[in-house]
Each structure stands twice: as structure tokens, then as C-alpha cells.
Amino acid sequence: MCLGIPGEVLTTVEGPLRMGRVAFGKVIKEVCLAYVPEAAPGDFVVVHAGFAISRVDPEGARRVFAYLEELGETNEVREEEPP
């Protein structure tokens, strides 16, 4: 089974592939935004395997974060270095 996780777009970078920094609770990752060209900082996107695949409403994203927090899956704080 595949799992997409919602995250908040923090920044975007235009280039050969549109990229951005996306926050998943306290975890921040570099994500490809090529499939959601309309995504802007402050928007929430569903990310699977490093690719944002759709936008999602903020309330839905917050519900998922709340469920993950209940499960103890958001306790780790780390940030990936850009390539």
C-alpha cells in the first residue's frame, strides 16, 4: 500500500524541476512540486515518494497531523540539507 502525507509548502524554487521545502509537522524535506505548479508557500500538498501529487485543504492536513501526533509519529525533529 502507498501512503501520501500532507505537508505545508514553506518555499518554492523554480528551475528545471520545480522544487520546494515542505514541512510535515516538525520534519522539513525537499520535495518536487512539478506536478502541482499552482502550489505556493502556505498551501498544503499531499506528498508521495518525494513528489507533491495534489493540493489538500488545510483542515484536512491538520486532522492527519493530529492523528500522527496521537500515534507518536511526529516527535522527531530534523531537517534535510538541500542537495
What contacts 61, CB < 8 A, 6 or more positions away?
A: 6, 7, 8, 44
pLDDT at site 75: 52
Is 21 inside any structural domain? yes
Where in the sequence is the domain holding 11, given as residue range(s)?
A: 5-76
Does a structural domain hold residue 32?
yes
In a domain? residue 67? yes
Task: Say which CATH number the domain at 19 has.
Answer: 2.30.30.140
72 within domain boundaries: yes
Number of domains making up the chain: 1
Residue among 4, 2, 3 nearest 52 (CA): 4
Cell matching residue 35? 506536478
Per-10-residue mean pLDDT for the chain, 83 residues long?
84 95 90 96 95 91 80 54 50
pLDDT value of residue 71: 78
Q: Facing residues of 78 across strands?
A: 27
Name the residue with cell 528551475: 15
